[in-house]
Structure 1
Amino acid sequence: MDSIVKSALRKSLGDDSPTTRFKIEPTSGATFSSVDYYKLAEQEFGFSVKKAKIVVVGCGGAGQNTVTRLTEMGIEGAMTVSLNSDAKALAVGKADKKILIGKELTKGLGCGGYPEIGRKCAEESRNEIKEVLEGADLVFAIAGLGKGTGTGSIPVVCEIAKSMGALVIAVVTMPFKVEGARITKAEDGLAALRQVCDTVIVIENDKLLKYAGNLSIQQAFAVADELVASMIKGITETITLPSLVNLDYADVRAVMRSGGVAAIGVAESNSSDRARDAVMKALTNPLLEVDYTGATGALVHITGGPDLRLDEVNTIGEIVAQHLDPSAQVFWGARILPEFEGKVQVIVIMTGVKSPYILGPVTYERPVVREVSETLGIDIIR
């Protein structure tokens, strides 16, 4: 987590020089990117190899900020998209494609914090959204819940992506508990979102206080952007680029399909027992209050330097498996980056977790009403 915090701080202070030790370099200039491996496979085996089309969509201001950071970092094998109802905010962000939603409804002036207006803006721009999602195999949708555009538009984006056959993973942040009315909006938005996604990865802003409590608000949110961007970049490039241990699209789909609510844990270590230390920290410090003993699956992304050993990677995978349900599916991938010499970073995404804050996972076969009734011990009359 330290490198993510330091990278975010450096970016917020305008110091992002390539000489910084904790710089996360885009892989576009790395070893693997100079070779078109799909073309190489086609030449070797004599048939056209399908690339998984991956689209990352930032919804609203918070989602746009994360996509901007991801675009700046560089991501190999994915298209970045930002959509917003605020024209001025959208203009300053960075993405491969930008969509100003709700032009007729809000005239580019934003939603004023009303999720229902955000939803209507997305519905108005449904055709434009469908166009950028056409043919997508995997869609990451990102938003901060609790305000207008992000909360209202992300369920629409995910519903469209799901209807077009994509695997849909939402990554959302929940407001600080002191934010009052935004909490209710966020919970309503999350309930809607969970009905149209395969998996929702939830990050509580309050949990960020543990890592960034002495930072300014701007810097703390930059840490969240860096965390989400690094996670998506890591998963995407472990799929699209050859790695020490590869994940493929089928692995991600196996774990994330109907995964319900997911939690993310991030840690790194440079100790003598760095692999064990990093994975244990990641498992014991997730950014959502959860019980993962009954989790249905896990994706583990490991980053190390040229000195990363295969037995260390295997140790991390084994420890994750030991801490989950015996029937849980665990897939892991590992990549080598020169700046991680001497240390190991572990990102663990646990699906199907139970959380007292979220009321546990929802699948398409298990309605929300039944789950709320079972969790709270009350009957709900419809």
Structure 2
Amino acid sequence: MKSLVQETFENNSVGFGDLMENKTSIYEEFGLDVRDARILVVGAGGAGNNCITRLTNMGVKGAQTVAINTDAKHLSITNADYRLLIGKEITKGLGAGGYPTVGKNAAEESEKELKKQIGNADMIYLVTGLGGGTGTGSSPVIARIAKEAGAIVIGCVTMPFKIEGARIAKAEDGLYQLRQICDTVIVVENDRLLKIAGDLPLQQAFGVADNLISTVIKGVTETISQPSLVNLDYADVKTIMHSGGVASVGFGESNTKNRAEEAVTKAMVNPLLEVSYAGGTGALVHITGGEDLKLDEVNLIGEHVSRELDADAQVIWGARVDPAFNNKIRVITIVTGVKSPYILGPVDEQRPQKKDFAQELGIKLYQ
């Protein structure tokens, strides 16, 4: 007598491809427009453009890439679906000189072009390195334009090394502004890179941050837009990210006997931001494995993340099968609503000690 499992495999004649082929007819049956969520990945400034080049070279299904800069030379070597030079009258294509006020004014000068480029997106990942001029100054303007157009805006930012002095203060003020505008801001702390890339040359170490952010965006986007073992629903992702506050990203891989437990533990123990998960409001978990990925492994990973957070935190997860991952599991976690030394409190807290410095830099603190 055949087991229930055997019968399931033998009778499973409808696959992901069949479902996707029938997508149009299903939408027509229920009188709905055939329209997937439009997802953009926008990189602002030098670091943001570098990440966009990496992501474009990797290829991401279901999203388009946009590079924005005041530096025409850097923008010209950036690989993106769309490129936009902002602040032509102010900077003459020569960059912002490290001044956030110049980056801000450049974005405001080019607001019409920005609206045309990003105004019809449903979800925008806004990638930038904070502490410089273009990224720090233009990102809040870009985020505001996207929010006013109705998009969910997820900031993905890197913070400078602690030895970088004045860049730290600029970055903290830039992060403060983005927190007030973006739905969620994923923060990667460059000093935490030393734990995973301390022995690498400097350029390669920065490449680790670019690769991590690119992998996170690619993984989440394709699990929304492409057939997967367990899909992430766009509406669920929107729920997690909407008003998610500051988020930490974790990454773990394993190919051992206890690969699921090891991968999720690495992701939760070594996030690229010093955080406390206490009070975390939600988590998005992306799992990638080979054709040998088991349902109980996926379930174990989801349960592990849930145990780390408060009982009322919302955890959603998706899983993709990639033949290149045979015998290996990769876990990416995005935990929202976390606490960090970079975060001084709720966004409505006044920060008088920062106000004078922000005004000196030409940064407007939104109240």
Structure 1 residues 261 and 97, CA gap change in structure 2 (3 angstroms): same
Q: Does 1:351 align with 2:336?
A: yes
Q: What residue is the counterpart of 2:4 in the other structure? A: none
Deviation sequence 1:224-283 (CA, Å, 0-9, x none)? 111000000001011001110110111111111111111011011111111111111111
Q: Which amino acid aligns with 1:116?
A: T
Q: Which amino acid aligns with 2:158?
A: T
Q: Which AA in structure 2 matches 1:345?
A: R
Contact 1:56 1:139 in 2 (8 A): yes
Q: Which residue of 1 aligns with 2:24?
A: 39
The TM-score normalised by the length of structure 1 is 0.85
Aligned to 1:214, the other structure's residue is in SS state coil
Contact 2:187–2:247, Cα closer than 8 Å, also in 1: yes
Asked if 1:149 is matched to 2:156, the reply is: no
Change (3 A) 1:287 1:40: farther
In the other structure, the counterpart of 2:239 is: 254
Contact 1:302 1:347 in 2 (8 A): yes
Cα gap change, 1:34/1:73 in structure 2, threshold over 3 Å: closer, same or farther?
A: farther
Say if 2:209 is the partner of 1:224.
yes
| Residue matched to 1:369 | 350
Indicate the SS of the match to 2:145.
Answer: helix
May I ask how many residue pairs the two structures share in their alignment? 340
Q: CA deviation at 1:45?
A: 4.9
Q: Which amino acid aligns with 1:249?
A: Y
Q: Which string of whole-angstrom CA distances, capped at 9 and with x for unpartnered residues, describes residues 312-345 of structure 1?
A: 1111111101110110000000111111110100
Deviation per CA, 1:173-231, whole angstroms, max 9, x where unpaired? 00000001100110111111111100000000000011000111110111111100000
Cα pair distance change 1:55/1:37, threshold 3 Å: farther
SS of equivalent to 2:56? helix
Q: How far off is 1:50 after superposition? A: 2.6
Cα distance change of structure 1 residues 280 and 33 upon mapping to structure 2, 3 Å threshold: farther
2:68 matches 1:68: no
**Whole-Å Cα distance in 2 between the matches of residues 37 and 322 of structure 1?**
38
Match of 2:145 in 1: 160
Give the superposition deviation at 1:33: 12
The question of whether the paired residues in 2 share the 8 Å contact of 1:138 and 1:168 is answered with yes
Q: In the alignment, which residue of structure 2 is the partner of 1:83?
A: 68
Structure 1 residues 284 and 361: CA distance shift in structure 2, 3 A:
farther
RMSD (CA atoms): 2.1
**1:304-323 correspondence to structure 2 within 5 Å:** 304-323=289-308
The 8 Å contact of residues 129 and 159 in structure 2, kept in 1 or not, is answered as yes
Residue pair 1:59, 1:149 contacting (<8 A) in 2 also: yes
State the AA in 2 paired with 1:368: E
What is the distance in 1 between the residues matched to 2:221 and 2:157? Answer: 18
Larger Rg: 2
User: Cα offset for 1:170?
Assistant: 0.1
> Could you tell me how far 1:293 is from its partner in structure 2?
2.1
Counterpart of 2:357 in structure 1 is none
Name the % identity. Answer: 61
**What TM-score does the superposition give when structure 2 sets the normalisation length?**
0.89
Q: 1:371 to 1:197 in 2, by over 3 A?
A: farther
- Give 2:281's aligned amino acid: T
Cα drift, residue 108 of structure 1: 0.3
Letter paired with 2:206: F
Q: Offset of 1:136 from its aligned partner?
A: 1.1
Structure 2 residue 167 is the aligned partner of structure 1 residue 182? yes
| Residues 174-183 or 350-359, more deviating | 350-359
Provide the residue aligned with 1:51 in structure 2.
Answer: 36
| Correspondent of 2:261 among 276, 284, 297 | 276
Distance (whole Å) between structure 2 residues aligned to residue 350 and residue 319 of structure 1: 13
CA contact (8 A) 1:352 1:361 kept: no
Contact persistence 1:353–1:360 (CA under 8 A) = no
Q: 2:71 touches 2:95 (CA, 8 Å); kept in 1? A: yes
Q: Which amino acid aligns with 2:128?
A: A
Q: 1:277 to 1:119 in 2, by over 3 A?
A: same
Please list every run of 5 or more consecutive structure 1 residues that lacks an aligned counterpart in the other structure: 1-30, 373-381
CA distance in 1, matches of 2:50, 2:280: 30
Q: Note closer, same or farther for the CA distance 1:296–1:371 as it changes in structure 2 (3 Å cut).
A: farther
2:92 aligned with 1:107: yes
Q: Tell me how far apart the structure 2 counterparts of residues 291 and 150 of structure 1 sit (CA, whole Å).
A: 27
Q: Indicate conservation of the 8 Å contact 1:255/1:329, yes or no.
A: yes
What residue in structure 2 maps to residue 18 of structure 1? none
AA aligned to 1:88 is K
Is the CA contact (8 Å cut-off) linking 1:274 and 1:343 kept in structure 2? yes
Please tell me whether the aligned partners of residues 57 and 82 of structure 1 are also in contact (alpha carbons under 8 angstroms).
yes
CA contact 2:172–2:342 (8 Å) conserved in 1: no
Q: How does 1:335-350 map to 2 (within 5 A)?
A: 335-350=320-335
Q: Give the C-alpha shift of residue 79 in structure 1.
A: 1.2
Alignment partners' CA distance in 1, 2:176 and 2:65? 25
